[in-house]
Amino acid sequence: MPLFIVRNDIINMDCDIIVNAANSTLLGGGGVDGAIHKAAGKELKEYCKKLGGCRTGEAKITPAFALKQKYIIHTVGPVWKGGFFKEEEKLRSCYKNSLNLAKEYEAESVAFPLISSGAYAFPKKKAINIAKEEITEFLKDNDMTVYIVIFDNKSFEISKNLFKDIKEYIDKNYVDLHFNTYAARARQNIPAPPESYSKSADSLPDDYCESAQLPIDNYFETTELSVSKTQATTDLTCILNDIDESFSQMLIRKIDEKGITDAECYKKANIDRKLFSKIRNNINYKPKKTTAIAFAIALEMDIDETKNFLMKAGYALSHSDKFDIIIEYFITHNNYNIFDINETLFTFDQVLLGV
């Protein structure tokens, strides 16, 4: 099951268990610890008094009291001292122990803050990488939905170079090609299509393209500006022929061709097993666009394959959408790491891939 990175206050998370970045007394403090104790109420501190503290890297569980989740797991992250005192190893233990405890309590979903990355000064980039690695490793053998909850923008910043590169890519590709076709037609004095027009090449009058001097594709609101009606009709025939294979069928075929298992594919796509089964078992399943793209990324499709694959689910990649341009950037740069992509989408305030 998947890992999600979300921006939220952890106390508002809809999940079974939230994890607290506590100190070794377990009696409360500042940061996320303070927020959790405040929201859970005084009973939490009273309960914690009986636990006898907690060592760095270890984890203990309590009820959630006034909070809406079922339990709180309290773990104590390491204080960053330059990386010379096994800080990374201890932080990994926090995630391992907390996840195992969550499993023991049969949690279906658990939310983590970025442990140690506040008062304990662990470098945020390192902290998030450790969180991702440990959670991903755990999810290889376990069914659970895990959230990393980011509280401030700084915790989740892509590198300056990548940001600059993607920003330039967006600026270069964004919008220019996409314009209102009706407005464009008006500017060029071109007649509107007949009332009976129904987005089918065949429904336009025979002489329409010639008399209008406008490519038929403009009625389909695409960005190609040099397509004749004959070509459009041919394209349409190809598209109709292509309908033979549905999204679900193409997905299964691609998995086979890649020689990977279903589980490897949906895990790499950060997609929930149940959703994958639904798609697999329903030949006509229409996934969300983010789900379809997540599979294209997992299967490392090139840009043309991705477009074809998306078309099967009724979607396209356009240059009038930042989300689409970012996806295109990663595919054309052969970077198929879904977490890198999601970090970037997150930075640019776009929806994330996966469920």
- CB 109: neighbour CB atoms within 10 A? 18
Instruction: Please report how close the Cβ of residue 131 comes to ligand AR6 at its closest, in angstroms.
Output: 11
Q: With contact defined as beta carbons under 8 Å apart, do 151 and 31 qualify? A: no
Phi/psi zone of residue 222: left (φ > 0), alpha (ψ -120 to 50 degrees), beta?
Answer: beta
Distance CA 331, CA 341 (A): 10
Would you please indicate which residues are annotated as catalytic (active-site) residues? 33
Say whether residue 194 binds ligand AR6 (CB under 6 A): no
Say whether residue 15 binds ligand AR6 (CB under 6 A): no
Contacts of 260 (CB under 8 A, 6+ apart): 268
Q: Give the binding range for ligand AR6 (CB under 6 A) out of 60-68, 112-120, 167-175, 238-246.
A: 112-120
Q: With contact defined as beta carbons under 8 Å apart, do 148 and 135 qualify? A: yes
Distance CA 329, CA 167 (A): 10
Instruction: Please report how close the Cβ of residue 63 comes to ligand AR6 at its closest, in angstroms.
Output: 19
Q: Which of 5, 15, 17, 21 binds ligand AR6 (CB under 6 A)?
A: 21
Q: Give the binding range for ligand AR6 (CB under 6 A) out of 31-39, 56-64, 166-174, 182-190.
A: 31-39
Say whether residue 326 binds ligand AR6 (CB under 6 A): no
Q: Give the binding range for ligand AR6 (CB under 6 A) out of 139-147, 149-157, 216-224, 238-246.
A: 149-157
Instruction: Please report how close the Cβ of residue 149 comes to ligand AR6 at its closest, in angstroms.
Output: 5
Q: With contact defined as beta carbons under 8 Å apart, do 125 and 34 qualify? A: no
Question: Which residue from 246, 260, 272, 355 is spatially nearest to 300, judged by alpha carbons?
Answer: 260
Eight-state DSSP code of residue 342: H
Q: Which of 109, 155, 270, 342 binds ligand AR6 (CB under 6 A)?
A: 155
Q: For tokens 């329903």, what's the residue?
A: 282
Q: Which of 65, 71, 138, 151 binds ligand AR6 (CB under 6 A)?
A: 151
Q: Which is nearer to ligand AR6, 89 or 176 (CB)?
A: 89
Binding residues for ligand AR6, rule: CB under 6 A, are 9-11, 21-23, 29-33, 35, 77, 113-120, 149, 151-152, 155
